[in-house]
Amino acid sequence: MPPLKHVAIIGANGTIGRALIIALHVHMPTAQIETFSRTPAVIKDTSNHLIDYQDESSIAAAANCAPEWDLVICATGVLHTEKISPEKSLHALSRDHFHALFDANTITPALIAKYFLTRLSKTGIFAALSAKVGSISDNQLGGWYAYRASKAALNMIIKNAAIEMKRTNPKAIVVALHPGTVDSPLSKPFQTHVPKDQLFTAEFSAQKLINVLMHLSSEHSGQCLAWDGHIIQP
């Protein structure tokens, strides 16, 4: 990976987003890191901007905060809220819940890609946090209908965008990243059956993700990669 001038972290107030910012300061100390979040984020040596994911003009304005981007990481996403829990059966499906999760996990990253990819540098990288449970071929347990489907759809958005970028910016890279199961508010209610060696700190996951990013090549564009660099099959 060549030296980076302009880096964007979208979802800066999330557990993984903040850990990525801290790790990037260590690995890429000369990069100008611009962070974006719905609420103010106070993070040392970064310039934080408010962003409204429901307002497309706000996303467009965020993309214009640098002349071009060398690295963009979309670290947004929702698994559950006070009113939404992952479904265990078809009986739990809800139109409102599907709308909420697809809006957060698929539509928002897609719109971020719409505006940020047009400003990606010739060797730039766009990465969106996805999840292994979005893999159709890997699904052996079922359940979590809306979350699984929204992440599978995100992976398709990434694949489409990568194909399009090959035509206009052939050396740019567009990928989805699976950070592993990270000890965070998102995973907290579901950690009971996670083996200790598979529950990561945000700092560990961020370091691993940056290592993956630093070793990407154009052949990886369009893929979903796990924290250890392994390809997650669709």
pLDDT single digits (tens) 64-81 = 999 999 999 999 998 888
- Residue 47's alpha-carbon distances to 28, 56, 58, 225, 227, in angstroms, are 15, 21, 16, 28, 27
- Judged against a pLDDT cut of 80, whether residue 202 lies above it is answered with yes
Average pLDDT over the chain, rounded to whole?
92
Instruction: Describe the strand order of the beta sheet including 173-178 as a list of residue ranges.
Output: 47-50, 32-37, 6-10, 69-74, 120-129, 173-178, 224-226, 231-232
Q: What is the fold of 6-232?
A: Rossmann fold (3.40.50)
pLDDT of residue 198: 73
- Report the amino acid identity of residue 82: E
pLDDT of residue 195: 66
How many Å apart are CA 167 and CA 137, to the nearest integer? 29
pLDDT of residue 206: 96
Q: Looking up tokens 């206009």, which residue turns up?
A: 168
Give the model's confidence band at 194: pLDDT under 50 very low, under 70 low, under 90 confident, else very high: low
Q: Looking up tokens 């993700």, which residue turns up?
A: 209
How many Å apart are CA 5 and CA 57, to the nearest integer? 25
- In this structure, what is the dihedral angle of CA atoms 65, 71, 76, 79, given to the nearest 10 degrees? 170
Question: Contact at 8 Å (CB) between 11 and 186?
Answer: no
Residue 136's CB is within 10 A of a number of other CB atoms, namely 11
pLDDT of residue 191: 55
- Judged against a pLDDT cut of 90, whether residue 6 lies above it is answered with yes
Average pLDDT over residues 176-180: 96
pLDDT of residue 80: 82
* In the chain, where the domains are located: 6-232
pLDDT of residue 200: 87
Percent of the chain, pLDDT > 70? 93
How many Å apart are CA 179 and CA 156, to the nearest integer? 18
Question: Contact at 8 Å (CB) between 218 and 171?
Answer: yes
List the one residue out of 13, 6, 29, 72 whose CA is nearest residue 202: 13
